[in-house]
Amino acid sequence: MPHIALMISGQPDAALTRSVAAAIADLTVEVLGKPRELIALTLQYLDPAQWIIDGHPLSDSGRNAFQLDISITDETNTKAEKARYLAQVYARMEALIGNLHPTSYIHVIDARAAAYGYGGLTQERRYQLSAR
């Protein structure tokens, strides 16, 4: 765990994709304590003309934006850890893509253990098996 879905304004850029994926994985390990080998990240680019904030496309302002959704198992991180993650992800994305619009969202999704998992097992089932 976890799964991360990231959208960035702009045109596809292989070097940026690698840099962003590495940075987000590093923060997910360092701040949230998630195992690197279980981090799955999907990244999409969206044309700035199609990214609208306050009724105006980013292409009009020349700004950049991103949206990151990360699904984690509920009750595995504290409020403080999640707040630190949001702050550090935003700062890292500002450094990587620059000229960041402040209306760039990060959503930490606390998914119930009985409704979330990978490899055909829920996190709840994994917990039950490990407790034996």
From CA 65, how far away is CA 56, in angstroms rounded? Answer: 13
> How does pLDDT run along the chain (132 residues), one tens digit per residue?
799 999 999 999 999 999 999 999 999 999 999 999 999 999 999 999 999 999 999 999 999 999 999 999 999 999 999 999 999 999 999 999 999 999 999 999 999 999 989 999 888 998 888 888
3-state helix, strand, coil in the chain (%, to 5): 45, 30, 25
Range of the domain at 74: 3-130
**Which runs of consecutive H residues, i.e. helices, occur in 12-104?**
14-32, 58-61, 79-97
Q: What is the CATH number of the domain that holds 63?
A: 3.30.429.10
Structure confidence by residue, pLDDT tens digits, 1-28: 799 999 999 999 999 999 999 999 999 9
Domains of the chain: total: 1
